[in-house]
Amino acid sequence: MKHNKPQIYTLNCRSWIGNLSKKSIKVQQPKCEKCNRALKEEIKYSKVVLEAEKYNGEDWASASGLLMVTQKLYEALMLGGIKGFAPLKVKKVPFKYTALDIKTIPDFVYLAILSPAIRNIPIACDYTGICEGCNLTLNKYNEEKSQLIMRKTTENPINLQVYADTYENADIFNFTDHGEIGVTQKFLDVIKDFNCPDAVIIPAEWI
């Protein structure tokens, strides 16, 4: 198919500096009345509190499926015109069992990804049809495929197939039926000058 869409990728950031505290607030997503699936319409968290356990100069980190970047990287993303998120300040608190001084950790910003989530063909489950309510796939658990929801390696990569007609020009976005986030080449061009370790990045494919 011919189109002028940017090259996109699935991204699993596996860089870790600590878990979210219970004081973080998860946003309730609306549900489809027909199939009961949670629709990714709201940002994932409205408050992010990080229990910092270790820090080694990383400019990004992930916890509970959300992506946080340093203030420095956030400013570069803004300067680069990266669209698709709302910035939320991350509150850092010390983890009970670490001697780490949290004042030595820079400020982090949670990239709260905005809707719309882009429709894709699921690779981590079987699907049995399309829901008449939400127009998304009716999914069935498949143990073997379920490991593909957040990939740990780029070995034998499957390119996620993504419907171009649901794309609204964001550089960072969610997929309706996939656990990893989506980013454009433009997003990767900004982060390449920063310390962004432990990423599983696989090209996705427009259909």
By CB under 5 A, name the binding residues for Zn ion. Answer: 32, 34-35, 131, 133-134
For Zn ion, which is the closer residue by CB, 35 or 100? 35
138 versus 201: smaller Cβ distance to Zn ion: 138
Instruction: Give percent helix, percent strand, percent coil of the chain, each to the nearest 5.
Output: 15, 35, 55
Least CB distance to Zn ion at residue 92 (A): 38
Task: State the nearest-atom distance from the C-beta of 42 to Zn ion, in Å.
Answer: 17
Tokens 């400020």 -> residue: 107
Q: How far is the CB of 207 from Zn ion (least distance, A)?
A: 21
Residue 30 CB, nearest distance to Zn ion (Å)?
11
Per the listing, tokens 């073997």 go with 144
Q: Which is nearer to Zn ion, 61 or 136 (CB)?
A: 136
Q: Is 32 helix (H, G, I), strand (E, B) or coil?
A: coil
The pairing of strands 60-63 and 66-70 is antiparallel
Cβ neighbours of 153 (radius 10 Å): 10
d(CA 131, CA 139): 10
For residues 139 and 142, which CB has a smaller minimum distance to Zn ion in the complex? 139
